[in-house]
Chain A
Amino acid sequence: MLPFIDEILRYDSLSIVGLEKNTGKTECLKYVLDRLPVQDKRIAVTSIGIDGETVDQVTRTQKPEIVLREGMYFGTSEMHYRQRRLVSELIDVSDETTSLGRVVTARALTGGKILLSGPSSASSLRRWMGEMRRLDIDLVVIDGALSRMSSASPAVSQSMILATGAAYSANISTLVSKTAHVVDLVNLDLTSKGNIARLMPLDKGVWSIDKDGNLSSLEAVTSLSRDIHFEGMEQCETLYVAGALVDGFLEKVRKNKSLKQVELVVRDFTKIFVSPQQFRLFHKGGGRIHVLQRSRLIAVTVNPTSPSGYVLDSDMLCGKLSEAIGLPVYDLLKNKQ
């Protein structure tokens, strides 16, 4: 057994995030579910970010089925529940609807296949996770699509596995540096507990906390606008961007003299859309970016085969990536053989 299964069990939740389609996220999910000790632990599985993205009605390409084991709990949409290929006991039907109907929670009474499509908004995911705690679930596993369409973020989980591979880039050194950038973002430190409590409920706008701890909204500033003018920011100690953090905004902060010492806060790594160059420049200048929620990155998995059939050298890829990020890297398909 690969070591990360033991580590997963130290946390109450795990998300598995693919950096691109065909980077082996589903393989990784299957791998983990096959190996979790379902006899001693209550395990629940769901998926986020389904809104028309993973079930493509146009091309008819469907999200792959997951094989659940007897005793596992799962959250999926009404539509996919009706198509299940296992025997299961219904536990809850939520009030919230997704594009595929309401979210249904059930327990598998036999092993079998199911399509997963769970809560797709941040609040419904939060409620579903709460429901799982009420059911005394030991570990929630989230199939965490990275999606701008969905407000549900995989960063709500305590731990995370990233799946990367040739589909993300077919050149080893590019793939390593692109993946390392995401790993840097996932590993950003949390801001202070006080800031987390105050900023978490704010889901829109740009906010400033001054040296005396006064929180105020910067009405005139949106993080996406091109002409951002920070004025009277001398007292600003923390700058919180509730929405997406993009290059233009980061550059303005970096070049603003009164914001030299500022702590920049974003919700989590999924809200950061800055290039590695801007990110590096910001750090070099002494800038700090912190987050409100983060997952502990346990491992990275790679799929060396690109959708077009091109295959990277698995050992070299694992070695170089592991060296760059300081974490174990696995090729699950190769390990299986």
Chain B
Amino acid sequence: MQLKNVIESPCGLRYMLDQLELQSGYARRWLLDSPMMTSEEEIAAAYGVLRRFSQFIDQVEKTYIDTLLFKLQGLKDIRTTIRNLSQHAVLDDIELFEVKHLAILATDVARLLQQHGMDAVVEIPALDEVIAILDPDGMKIATFYIYDSYCAQLKDLRSQMRQHPDQQDDLLAQASELEEGVRQDLSRQLHPFADAMGQAQAALALIDVNLAKALQIKQLGLSFPTMSPDGTSHYRAMFHPQVKDALASRARKFQPVDIGFGHHPTLITGANMGGKTVVLKTLTLCQYLFQFAFGIPALEARIAVKDEIYFCIGDEQSVEKGLSSFAAEMKNIDAVIKASRMNKKLLALIDEPARTTNPTEGAALVTALLKVLADKDMSLVMTTHYDIEPGDARCLRVKGFENGEMDYQLVEVQSGEVPHEALNIAQSLGIDNEWINTARSLLESCPPS
């Protein structure tokens, strides 16, 4: 599973990537190709590097960081060239230019990092020999051609060209044979450095990505998580950056939420518009951010590593593919149940399952789902509007509508009983009175059992 496979998840991962100020297109591709980490050691190591970069940008002057960022803008994707080099191909002038450009860039960046002891954090292989091969005159600039000093005969032909432009075509033909010989020779000399070039390119991408993540932590007020070894996860003052920004643009504030979950299924109930779906979205987002080693949008976060993450929400894409919304949802949840039997550590976040069918069967499906998943080794968080028997599940409820305002905090309750606030909320939205009042009188004359 690579980042690019989950980037369009409805949890809002794409927004976090869009907010990431990467300097090079190559670093973006490199990040999208990176696999989701599923071992504690790997994740801890990645956060170790990120933490060093985070301290680094706090400690050094801004102009220094700006210089580094500006340098990284020069990072290009030359994987094809490096592959050609490792396969003994003869590189052309453009490819040789790319090799020289990368070698000089890597050396410059390594020198900048060295000044602050950051060279131990990300190791960039030394490429001085590559530069020496492609810079025979010691000019130390990142331009390239088949220099005169590679071949005395070539130098001679070129000065003839300048003196006798009328013989240019003939002289060029002779020169191009000599140039090809030089290219063969250079490619042979450079071949042993192909691996080091590849490592240098990846190291520069890693630096670009970590600087961007560290800057994002500052900009969005994210935090470093701690590892939870017991399979449970806990968040204090968790928020969803995209929703927060959207609210801020309408001069409204996002109310952060505290939540913990783990061994037992967690059932979230609460009024409409109470932010239940946003809670699930944020939990999914945080889990992905954790396993790709980004800053976490919460004041504090203690997170358990999972092998697989399932976020089941009314999926419009499946509906576009021609599946009914019920069928699409059932298939998604079915995948969770199948995966739960595979002896893997799972996190499943399911938003209002079976909401599009009749309430009798819907409630039965949800109760059964809770029963089926309860004895599996997984973390499950589910929202519902149905009144169901929670069994083993922990029940959380959105505080709800109080004094004309929505309180989005979650409180622990003893049963899964759902609040009956739909009509009040509809009324506060200014929905047609005749409709709402008729519904109210229907409820009064025939209250639900």
Contacts and interface: CB of A to CB of B under 8 A. Distances in A.
Contact of A85 (B94, B98, B158, B168): B168
Contacts of A88: 145
A128 B165 CA distance: 30
A93 interface: yes
A278 B165 CA distance: 53
B158 to A, nearest CB: 6
Interface in A255-307: none
Given A88-B145, A109-B158, A110-B162, A93 B94 contact: yes
Interface residues of A, number: 19
Contacts of A89: 143-145
A81 interface: yes
B398 to A, nearest CB: 37
A87 B161 contact: yes
A313 interface: no
A203 interface: no
A241 to B, nearest CB: 29
Contact of B76 (A78, A91, A95, A110): A95
A104 interface: yes
B94 A104 contact: yes
A268 B25 CA distance: 31
A70 B175 CA distance: 17
A111 interface: yes
Contact of B158 (A78, A90, A91, A110): A110
A91 B175 CA distance: 21
A111 B162 CA distance: 7
Interface string B133-170: 00000000001110000000000001001100100110
Nearest to A94: B76
Contacts of A78: 94
A87 B94 contact: no
A108 to B, nearest CB: 10
B94 A81 contact: yes
Contacts of A82: 92, 94
Contacts of B165: 111
Given A109-B145, A111-B165, A90 B93 contact: yes
Contacts of A95: 25, 76
A112 interface: yes
Contacts of B97: 90, 93
Contacts of B162: 70, 110-111
Interface in B241-290: none
B172 interface: yes
In this complex, which of A85, A87, A88 has the most chain B Cβ atoms within 10 angstroms of its Cβ?
A87
Given A87-B145, A111-B165, A93 B98 contact: yes
Nearest to A82: B92
Given A85-B169, A95-B25, A90 B92 contact: no
Contacts of A81: 93-94
Contacts of B76: 93, 95
B94 A112 contact: no
B170 to A, nearest CB: 11
Nearest to B168: A112
Interface string A80-102: 01100111111101010000000
Nearest to B74: A92
A87 B158 contact: yes
Interface in B14-58: 25
B193 to A, nearest CB: 20
Contact of B161 (A90, A93, A107, A110): A110
Contacts of B144: 89-90
A109 B425 CA distance: 76
A324 to B, nearest CB: 41
Contacts of A112: 161, 168, 172
A190 to B, nearest CB: 32
Contacts of A111: 162, 165, 168
Given A82-B92, A93-B94, A87 B143 contact: no
Interface string A142-167: 00000000000000000000000000
A196 B158 CA distance: 49
A81 B145 CA distance: 12
B143 A91 contact: yes
In this complex, which of A81, A86, A95 has the most chain B Cβ atoms within 10 angstroms of its Cβ?
A95
A85 B145 contact: no
Interface string B354-368: 000000000000000
Nearest to B97: A90
Contacts of B172: 85-86, 112
A90 B94 contact: yes
A90 B144 CA distance: 5
Nearest to B100: A90
Nearest to B73: A95
Contacts of A70: 162
Contacts of B143: 89-91, 107
A283 to B, nearest CB: 43
Contacts of A107: 143
Interface string A246-258: 0000000000000
Nearest to B172: A85
Given A81-B93, A90-B94, A90-B97, 7 more contacts: A70-B162, A90-B144, A93-B94, A110-B162, A110-B168, A111-B165, A112-B161
